[in-house]
Homo-oligomer: A and B are copies of this chain.
């Protein structure tokens, strides 16, 4: 649906404060731009919230994330894809199939409505892939210089698969650590763009929807899947440290087993970044009982998103809360949590 017929030309081009005022311009933005992209029966109601029945007993997963990535468009994705996949991936990390999403936009005055439409198209594409719906939303506009283009919050509701129990409390010494694919692609893509680095083939973000792969893992591993975490902000190092800390266990990884693509490794060297600390947006680790780890690994490799999956280490009873990496010569180093900010606004 074209919106030019509904909004005067000057309002068509950019977002103004009036689009966030709750009056006629807000209504036009909703009916002319947002609804045509996202429409479904719940949103159509235009009520203060969405209401849906839950008929059978279920465990719901509930998670929220704001996305402030700069720039909002990058090789391999944009803030729209990221805001759906990021929250859906967090639901997946709870063992939950994503069901419903809320969408809240904070837009800086002057942002282009064309850019907003592109982002909404990405949101729709991502939702369709996951058979997920945006059922309620909110739009605020802040004055020029009081925001930065667009910030997006999505909050997700999902249904935990029957018989699955994912929790840091279930992590045990001996658990095998499986990584779903190669590291650091999202962060390196954004940093290369910011720094103006050019490569023969562009470095693409790995932004993707993990649920289909996670579902395959859960169906194969069942109760043997103890914990999962996607390696976003702070990279794999932070994900592993958080797990070691909350489960009060030690983690040992094999540094030579970590998959990093050659061009990503090269960019990391130019940028002075350690791939272990770089954000991913389509990779996760699962901590799996040793009995089922081989089966789970082969289930992962059968899926396109998991074809580079590998075992990278294991959980140990020693040094609780500490992650160490062993290199090829048998030496170990502590993989600490990142202390400050390596890459601001990466997601």
Contacts and interface: CB of A to CB of B under 8 A. Distances in A.
A144 B340 CA distance: 16
A60 B51 contact: yes
A147 B143 CA distance: 10
A100 B145 contact: no
Contacts of A328: none
A49 B63 contact: yes
A334 B145 CA distance: 36
A60 B64 contact: no
Given A64-B153, A151-B106, A339 B168 contact: no
Interface in A9-66: 16-18, 20-27, 45-66
B106 A21 contact: no
A286 interface: no
Interface in A257-289: 277, 279
Contacts of A338: 21-24
Given A62-B100, A104-B66, A155-B64, A47 B167 contact: yes
Nearest to A151: B106
A70 to B, nearest CB: 8
A342 interface: yes
A345 interface: yes
A233 interface: yes
Interface stretch (A131-139, A172-180, A291-299, A308-316): A131-139
B20 A344 contact: yes
Interface string A118-161: 00000000000000000111101111011110010101111010
Nearest to A347: B140
B23 A143 contact: no
Contacts of A91: 48-49
A269 to B, nearest CB: 21
Given A22-B232, A23-B340, A27-B337, A62 B46 contact: no
